[in-house]
Amino acid sequence: MASSIRITPSILNADLTHLDSEIARIAEQSDLIHLDVMDNIFVPNFTFDFDSASAIIKACPIGVDAHLMVADVDQIAPAYAEVGCESVTIHAEATKDISATLRAIRQAGARAGLALKPGTSIEDAAGFIDQVDMFLIMTVEPGFGGQKFIHEMMEKVRKTRAIIGGRDIWLQVDGGISPETICEAAQAGANVFVAGSAVFRADDPASMISSLRTLAQSVAHD
Ligand code: DX5
Ligand code: ZN
């Protein structure tokens, strides 16, 4: 069976003035490009508005995994699916009607992801399990790249893996993923890994992605 490990590099720490070439040098090794959308309301940082995010999504040579860290996400999330994202992730803490928004993302043709900040328990989100294609367990507080991996989140990853059981739901971790932390997260049951600074601060980002994949596969559950 093919490994279910996926590496989804975040371009948050890439050179945003040369985004096309930054994406081009990692596209072949990446499963999806992780696009962090921040509004300076839900998180204390701003990255892209919808128009500039749309331009990136349309130009991206591989699928985009949009991570929406924005307030009042209910209206805008399906628009990210319509513009061509392969996966759209909303935060449980930012969404007024989680069921309706997950449904709208799927109806617009994307995979629907549900993200949890470090302080939100998986038990609060488990009721949505039949409406999600991916859970995202944040391993840092959302807002910035380059933060320290929160090891205590591994208990939540293990619980989420147990709750997922045999369902075909991806389990993503985001924040502080590096060669030092990816095995711990994979052992706990994660199979989709966001890596921002580990990739873009590496001398060779493409080979860093390959190394991360090899490490995760060496301890993966399947
Ligand atoms: C943080 C973002 C992450 C971030 C990861 O809020 O959601 O995707 O870019 O960056 P690193 O890998 O540097 O922690
Ligand atoms: Zn992210």
Where do the domains of the chain lie, and which CATH numbers do they carry? 2-219 (3.20.20.70)
Taking residues 102-108, what's their average pLDDT? 98
User: Each residue of 9-44: pLDDT tens digit?
Assistant: 999 989 989 999 999 999 999 999 999 999 999 999
Q: Is 130 a catalytic residue?
A: no
Structure confidence at residue 220 as a pLDDT band (50, 70, 90): confident
| Ligand 1, atom 9: closest residue by C-alpha | 145
Cβ proximity of 139 and 173 under 8 Å: yes
- Concerning whether 36 is annotated as a catalytic residue, the answer is yes
State the average pLDDT over residues 164-190. Answer: 98
Is the Cβ atom of 7 under 6 angstroms away from ligand 1? Answer: no
Q: Could you say which of 65, 133, 174, 203 is catalytic? A: 174
For residue 222, what pLDDT is reported? Answer: 66
Overall average pLDDT of the 81-86 stretch: 98
Strand arrangement of the beta sheet that strand 87-91 belongs to: 6-9, 192-195, 170-174, 134-138, 111-116, 87-91, 64-69, 33-38
Q: What would the pLDDT profile of 123-158 be if each residue is shown by its tens digit? A: 999 999 999 999 999 999 999 999 999 999 999 999
- Does 181 sit in the ligand 1 pocket, CB within 6 Å? no
Catalytic entry in 36, 39, 65, 133 = 36
Q: How far apart are CA 169 and CA 98, in angstroms?
A: 17
d(CA 47, CA 83): 18
Best of 70, 194, 200, 208 to mutate for ligand 1, by most ligand atoms within 8 A of CB?
Answer: 194
Taking only the tens place, the pLDDT of each residue in 200-217 is: 999 999 999 999 999 999
